[in-house]
């Protein structure tokens, strides 16, 4: 990466509201070094070293993580998500929102189905407007990580979507989902008015299958805030990491489903 390519990205990260102060400090040091015509390679190596401990623990903020992966050449896909494509304009299209743990693992199961127009990762159900990932992950805003789905009712029904939701979540776990712990990962179905009755019906059907109580909430849909670019289509951007997470989630789902159906 040339200095003229690096500086605009660093400036944007410094100004971004989601960047943490510690990250911003390191970015400003790198910016000053580059502007003073120091060796760009040396300046970027120092920045990599500063970010590496947090990156290895997946604890950089999303946009900074994108930049780190770009610096190290590890990023599979850093293309910006086109948010303008996530819109329903036709009478035969509907929206619905599902929360069921980390949204990284909630996109691909739905997006793989025919009739899905768009799946967007984001935050909903909380008390503040336009939250950042850091704010939601604190568990203090009331939001949950969720996916908003636009689907073609001529091809796939709401019933098919909600049936899939029950298959990929643990409806007896109110404290999170699988390896994802915290209030921001609790299972909730957010419904449009015309979806309420069917969602309630499927919840009753699921209750028969379990000896433990079903804790998945059903609520009216509220404002849905898109998550940062880093989180969109994560399974495409980082397929190896996603496959490992998906495998672990499926193993826990199988174990917990049988355990709770047996009342253990």
For the segment 8-34, what is each residue's pLDDT rounded down to a tens digit? 999 999 998 888 999 999 999 999 988
- CA end-to-end distance (rounded Å), the chain: 56
Task: Answer yes or no: do 63 and 133 share one domain.
Answer: no
In this prediction, residue 77 carries a pLDDT of 54
Residue 165 lies in domain = 83-261
Task: Answer yes or no: do 95 and 213 share one domain.
Answer: yes
CATH number of the domain to which 165 belongs:
3.30.1060.10
Q: How many domains does the chain have?
A: 2
In this prediction, residue 1 carries a pLDDT of 59
Task: Answer yes or no: do 108 and 161 share one domain.
Answer: yes
Helices (H), 73-157: 108-111, 133-137
In this prediction, residue 89 carries a pLDDT of 78
**Mean pLDDT for the chain?**
89
- The per-residue pLDDT for range 77-115, each reduced to its tens digit, is 556 778 888 988 789 999 999 999 999 999 999 999 999
Does 42 fall in a domain?
yes
Does 174 fall in a domain?
yes
Task: Answer yes or no: do 140 and 41 share one domain.
Answer: no
Does 156 fall in a domain?
yes
pLDDT band at 129 (very low <50, low <70, confident <90, very high): very high
Task: Answer yes or no: do 154 and 122 share one domain.
Answer: yes
Domain boundary among 51, 72, 93: 72
The residues annotated as belonging to the active site are 102
In this prediction, residue 182 carries a pLDDT of 93
Does 77 fall in a domain?
no
DSSP-based three-state secondary structure for 222 = coil
Give CA 114 to chain center in angstroms. Answer: 21
Task: Say how far apart CA 169 and CA 136 lie, in whole Å.
Answer: 20
Task: Answer yes or no: do 47 and 110 share one domain.
Answer: no
- The per-residue pLDDT for range 46-81, each reduced to its tens digit, is 999 899 888 876 678 878 888 888 888 765 455 677
- The per-residue pLDDT for range 161-180, each reduced to its tens digit, is 999 999 999 999 999 988 88
Q: List residues bridging with 144 in a β-sheet.
A: 124
Task: Answer yes or no: do 54 and 101 share one domain.
Answer: no
In this prediction, residue 122 carries a pLDDT of 96
Domain boundary among 72, 99, 126: 72
Task: Answer yes or no: do 93 and 12 share one domain.
Answer: no
Task: Answer yes or no: do 44 and 147 share one domain.
Answer: no
pLDDT band at 7 (very low <50, low <70, confident <90, very high): confident
- The per-residue pLDDT for range 223-246, each reduced to its tens digit, is 999 998 878 998 988 787 788 888
pLDDT band at 39 (very low <50, low <70, confident <90, very high): confident
Backbone angles phi, psi at 239, to 5 degrees: -60, -40
Does 106 fall in a domain?
yes
Confidence check: pLDDT of 158 > 90? yes
Task: Answer yes or no: do 155 and 50 share one domain.
Answer: no
Task: Answer yes or no: do 46 and 118 share one domain.
Answer: no
In this prediction, residue 222 carries a pLDDT of 95
Task: Answer yes or no: do 215 and 129 share one domain.
Answer: yes
Nearest residue to 142 via CA among 124, 165, 159: 124
Does 203 fall in a domain?
yes
Domain boundary among 72, 106, 131: 72
**Share above pLDDT 90 across residues of the chain, in percent, rounded to a whole number:** 53
Does 78 fall in a domain?
no
pTM of the model: 0.73
């Amino acid at each position: 990466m040339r200095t003229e390519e690096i500086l605009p990205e660093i400036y944007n990260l410094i100004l971004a509201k989601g960047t943490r102060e510690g990250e911003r400090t390191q970015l400003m040091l790198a910016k000053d070094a580059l502007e003073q015509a120091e060796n760009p390679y040396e300046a970027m190596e120092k920045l990599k070293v500063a970010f590496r401990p947090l990156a290895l623990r997946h604890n950089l903020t999303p946009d900074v993580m994108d930049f780190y992966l770009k610096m190290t050449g590890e990023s599979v896909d850093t293309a910006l998500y086109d948010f303008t494509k996530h819109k329903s304009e036709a009478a035969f299209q509907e929206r619905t929102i599902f929360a069921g743990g980390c949204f990284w693992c909630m996109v691909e199961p739905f997006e793989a189905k025919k009739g899905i127009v768009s799946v967007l990762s984001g935050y909903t159900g909380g008390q503040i407007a336009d939250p950042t990932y850091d704010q939601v992950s604190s568990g203090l805003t009331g939001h949950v990580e969720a996916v908003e789905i636009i689907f073609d009712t001529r091809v796939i029904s709401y019933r098919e979507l909600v049936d899939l939701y029950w298959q990929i979540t643990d409806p007896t776990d109110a404290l999170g989902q699988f390896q994802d712990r915290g209030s921001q990962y609790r299972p909730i179905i957010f419904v449009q008015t015309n979806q309420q009755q069917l969602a309630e019906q499927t919840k009753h059907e699921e209750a028969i299958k379990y000896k433990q109580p079903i804790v998945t909430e059903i609520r009216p849909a509220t404002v849905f805030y898109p998550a940062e670019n880093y989180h969109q289509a994560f399974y495409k951007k980082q397929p190896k990491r996603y496959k490992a997470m998906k495998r672990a989630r499926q193993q826990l789902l199988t174990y917990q489903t049988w355990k709770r159906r047996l009342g253990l």
